[in-house]
Amino acid sequence: MPKPDSSFPVQISPSVLDFASADLSKSPEMEVKIKNITTSNLGIKIVDMPDGYMKVKLSDKVIKPSEEVELKVQLTREAEGIKLAKSITLELGDKNSSRFTIPVTSGNSSSKH
């Protein structure tokens, strides 16, 4: 696991969403926690995602200092049963408009339709 970049304004956990290793019978969605490690509020928004393959929702549009928001990701029917390697890009409202990408994979290639 790489060390978090201390100059980056947020911590992301987990850094990759692997639906192949998740128990989707318990919950059909996975979540990423995004924690603000700065001393000021950070806006956050989704700027790119694979439409049609997943539903993505942020729990809030602003992350307060030392607090976190959740990014909830659920695969759509179109993504079920296929090998998927996509990503979600988010942008922060900091002075650099920092962007980061969360890879989303699903390796369920065993059920062919």
Instruction: Please give the angle made by the CA atoms of 60, 62 and 67, to the nearest 5 degrees.
Output: 85
Residues 6+ apart with CB under 8 A from 1: 15
CATH topology of domain 10-107: Immunoglobulin-like (2.60.40)
**Cα gap 24→113, rounded to integer Å:** 19
pLDDT attached to residue 113: 39
CB 34 within 8 A of CB 10: yes
Mean pLDDT by 10 residues, the chain (113 residues): 66 94 82 96 97 94 98 91 92 95 79 40
Closest CA to 15 of 36, 38, 39, 32: 32
Query: Which pair of structure tokens corresponds to residue 6?
Result: 């201390």
pLDDT attached to residue 112: 40
pLDDT attached to residue 1: 45
Mapped onto helix, strand or coil, the DSSP state of residue 100 is strand
The whole model's pTM is what? 0.85
Say which residue the tokens 């304004």 belong to.
Answer: 9
Residue 38 exposure: Cα atoms within 13 Å on the Cβ side: 17
pLDDT attached to residue 28: 82
pLDDT attached to residue 29: 92
